[in-house]
Amino acid sequence: LKVTKEKAAEHHEAIILAASRSFRENGFDGVGVIEVMNLAGLTHGAFYGHFQSKAALAAEACRFSFEERLSVWPAGLTLAGFVSGYLSAKHRDQPSHGCPMAAFASSVGHQPAIVKREYARGLESHVRHVTAQFEALGHGKAQARKNATVLLSTLVGGIVMARSVSHTDRRLSDTIISDMKRSIFSQYGL
C-alpha cells in the first residue's frame, strides 16, 4: 500500500538507523535484510524500493554511523573526557551506539568497494575532527594530525581487544580498558 512521501522518507531513515545499529552490533554479515527491515517496522519486500542492494545499505549505514558519532560530539568535550568515554565498559558493551571504526575496522576489508569507500571517508573525517582538537590545544598542524592518527588507532585497539574477550574473560577485558586509559592519559598528559 502506498504511503505519504513524508512517511516513505521516514521509512528510509528508519532503515538506515536500524542498519547502523545492528551492523555495528553484529557485523555486516551478522544481520540480514529481513531483520533490518523488521527492526525498521517494515517487511523485507519494500527494501529494494529504498536501496539497490544490501551493500548499498551497508555503505549508507557506515556513512550514517560516522556522521552520527561526530554530530553528537558535545561542544565542550575535552580530550580526557573523550578518551574516558571511549575506553569505558559502557562503550565496550554497547557497540550499536559506539565508534564505527571499532565496529567495522576489521571486517570492512572483506566488504564491497562501495562500503570500503564510505568507511575510508568517515575515517578521514574522524581523524580531521580529532586533529582539530589537538590544534585547539596548541599543537602544530602536522603534529596534531599525527597525534590524532595515533590516538584513534590506539583507542580502537583498546576497545577491539577488550571486546574480543569481554564474554570470555571479563577481568582481562576490564584490565585492558583501564591499562589503556592510564597509558593514554600519561602519554598525552591528560
Contacts (CB under 7 A) with DNA, residues 50-69: 50, 53-55
Helix, strand, coil % over all residues of the chain, rounded to 5? 80, 0, 20
Q: Is the Cβ of residue 46 or residue 127 nearer to DNA in the bound state?
A: 46
Q: Does 172 engage in binding with a second copy (CB under 8 A)? A: yes
Size of the site for DNA (CB under 7 A): 24
Which grid coordinates belong to 123? Answer: 575515517
Does 124 engage in binding with a second copy (CB under 8 A)?
yes
CB of 60 to a second copy, least distance (A): 17
The residue within the footprint of a second copy, chosen from 47, 86, 119, 134 (CB under 8 A), is 119
Q: Give the separation between CA 150 and CA 63, rounded to whole angstroms.
A: 22
Taking the CB of residue 99, how many other CB atoms lie within 10 A of it? 22
Characterise 138 by phi-psi region: left (phi > 0), alpha (psi -120 to 50), beta (else): left
> Which of residues 35 and 174 has its CB atom nearest to DNA in the complex?
35
Find which of DNA, a second copy, none residue 33 binds, CB within 5 to 8 Å per kind: DNA
DSSP state string for 7-66: HHHHHHHHHHHHHHHHHHHH-GGGS-HHHHHHHTTS-GGGHHHH-S-HHHHHHHHHHHHH
- The reply to whether 8 sits near DNA by the rule CB under 7 A is yes
- If one asks whether residue 93 binds a second copy (CB under 8 A), the answer comes out as no
Is 139 a residue that touches a second copy (CB under 8 A)?
no
Stretch that binds DNA, among 34-42, 64-72, 124-132, 137-145 (CB under 7 A): 34-42
C-alpha cell at 129: 575532527
Positions that interact with DNA (CB under 7 A): 1-5, 7-8, 11, 32-35, 42-50, 53-55
